[in-house]
């Protein structure tokens, strides 16, 4: 079984796969289009980060793919529906780098309110500019968090601890942490916040969330931060608001178009502006976070291969079966229709196979069942299941053999 890891995924992942006896190929950059399609034949597990786009055309080339690991938070770079239709499980790391992103955002708030970007640049130019003009403490200021998920809530806790007042807006019903206060609309948050920071996901509906209209509704001389997705904001509108002085500073870590590989040229209308921090999508790129992500996602992929676990899959029904130490296991992904489980049980009864454990979950149009038995299921019964019209895939495990 072969694993292909792209975009310089932390070595902990490759080490985990090799310890499990898998062949591993590592590449430092992302691949796209024909390059990626050419690399996929024979690959069972694919590891990517945010720059590799998995389209239906790419999946057409991945005839051997069992699962895709997104070694990051987001999964919008993968066509999840098409992957699910093909029975390809997709996993990510929704929690592993939240602390790293939060620390970056807090550091940027301090740097922007103190205008440290300009101060250090002038020092490098040999200019001694000892002035308090435009420099402020952030204590007592209002932080507006747009998107109150894993990152937003942890940021809320830490920001309050260092003296910021916190308000937040989320389309979902979220419980406020500490003294944070939920507001009823994005407009209400923009009118009140001294610092606005975005932590929304990459769903298509969030594209263009922040444009000229939203920037105009922010408080004069406020600060803007985006460490979520590049497609969420209009960079040209942000540039105009910074040049006009309406926005006094900004920190941007994600961009609509990002270079594919280390050292490639970066273009943006935000380059060259005073009190603007531009970072190359490094919100979660600390050694601690990347090591944690490498271990977390590789563990999920190996559990899927080794025992059929789809726990925390973002596109297939979630089943977390126990380790099958001395039993035979069937994993069966199928279209979600009545009577599938009853049909499996009846089939096993007819061939004299005793079921010792069973778990079923459904998600949308698909269902997934894991069945543990005392004895192997006869080949003819497996063949009957494979030919059934509702079957997407069927895999078996034995106590002494890998996935079949």
SS3 track for 64-118: CCCEEEECCCCCCCECHHHHHHCCCEEECCCCCCHHHHHHHHHHHHHHHHCCHHH
**Rounded CA separation 162/339 (Å):** 57
Describe the strand order of the beta sheet including 366-373 as a list of residue ranges: 355-363, 366-373, 328-335, 391-397
Structure token pair of residue 224: 């803007």
Which one, of 315, 320, 341, 390, lies nearest residue 54 by Cα? 315
Catalytic: which of 114, 115, 199, 229? 229
| Active site annotation includes 160 | no
Task: Write down the H helix ranges in 228-277.
Answer: 235-244
Q: How many CB atoms lie within 10 A of CB 45?
A: 26
Query: Rounded to 5 degrees, what angle do the CA atoms 205, 210, 212 make?
Result: 135
- Give all strands (DSSP E) within 199-246, no chain letters: 222-226
Structure token pair of residue 295: 């271990």
Query: Rounded to 5 degrees, what angle do the CA atoms 93, 152, 119 make?
Result: 105
Which one, of 209, 198, 195, 155, lies nearest residue 177 by Cα? 155
**Rounded CA separation 178/116 (Å):** 30
Catalytic: which of 10, 199, 281, 334? 281
Asked whether 61 and 83 are in contact (CB, 8 A), the reply is no
Q: How many CB atoms lie within 10 A of CB 308?
A: 27
| Active site annotation includes 374 | no
Q: For residue 354, what are the contacts with CB-CB under 8 A and spacing of at least 6?
A: 348, 373, 374, 375
Catalytic: which of 118, 258, 291, 318? 258
Instruction: Name the helix (H) or strand (E) containing 46.
Output: strand 43-48
Structure token pair of residue 366: 């698909």
| Active site annotation includes 281 | yes
Catalytic residue numbers, as ranges: 229, 258, 281
């Amino acid at each position: 079984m072969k694993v292909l890891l792209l975009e310089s995924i932390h070595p902990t992942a490759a080490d985990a796969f090799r310890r499990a006896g898998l062949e591993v190929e590592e590449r430092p950059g992302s691949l796209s289009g024909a390059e990626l399609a050419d690399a996929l034949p024979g690959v069972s597990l694919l590891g990517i980060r945010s720059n590799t786009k998995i389209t239906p055309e790419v999946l057409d080339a991945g005839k051997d793919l069992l699962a895709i690991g997104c070694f990051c938070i987001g999964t919008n770079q993968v066509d999840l529906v098409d992957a699910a239709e093909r029975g390809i499980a997709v996993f990510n790391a929704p929690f592993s780098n939240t602390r790293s992103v939060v620390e970056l955002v807090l550091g940027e708030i301090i740097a922007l309110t103190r205008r440290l970007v300009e101060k250090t640049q002038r020092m490098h130019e040999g200019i001694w500019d000892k002035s308090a003009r435009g420099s402020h403490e952030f204590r007592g200021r209002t932080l507006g968090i747009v998107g109150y998920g894993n990152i937003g809530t942890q940021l809320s806790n830490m920001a309050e601890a260092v003296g910021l007042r916190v308000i937040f807006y989320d389309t979902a019903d979220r419980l406020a942490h500490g003294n944070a206060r939920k507001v009823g609309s994005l407009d209400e948050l923009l009118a009140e916040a001294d610092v606005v920071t975005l932590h929304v996901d990459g769903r298509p509906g969030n594209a263009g969330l922040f444009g000229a209209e939203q920037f105009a509704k922010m408080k004069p001389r406020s600060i803007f931060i985006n460490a979520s997705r590049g497609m969420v904001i209009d960079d040209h509108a942000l540039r105009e608001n910074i040049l006009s002085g309406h926005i006094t500073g900004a920190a941007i870590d994600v961009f609509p178009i990002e270079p594919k590989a280390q050292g490639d040229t970066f273009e943006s209308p935000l380059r060259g502006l005073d009190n603007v921090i531009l970072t190359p999508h490094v919100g979660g790129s600390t050694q601690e976070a990347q090591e944690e992500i490498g271990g977390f996602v590789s563990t999920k992929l190996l559990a899927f291969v080794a025992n059929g676990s789809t726990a925390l899959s973002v596109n297939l029904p979630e089943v977390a079966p126990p380790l099958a130490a001395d039993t035979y296991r069937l994993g069966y992904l199928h279209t979600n229709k009545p009577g599938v489980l009853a049909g499996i049980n009846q089939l096993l009864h007819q061939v004299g196979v005793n079921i010792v454990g069973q778990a079923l979950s459904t998600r949308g149009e698909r269902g997934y069942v894991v069945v543990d038995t005392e004895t192997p299921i006869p080949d003819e019964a497996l063949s009957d299941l494979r030919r059934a019209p509702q079957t997407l895939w069927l895999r078996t495990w034995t106590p002494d053999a890998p996935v079949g």
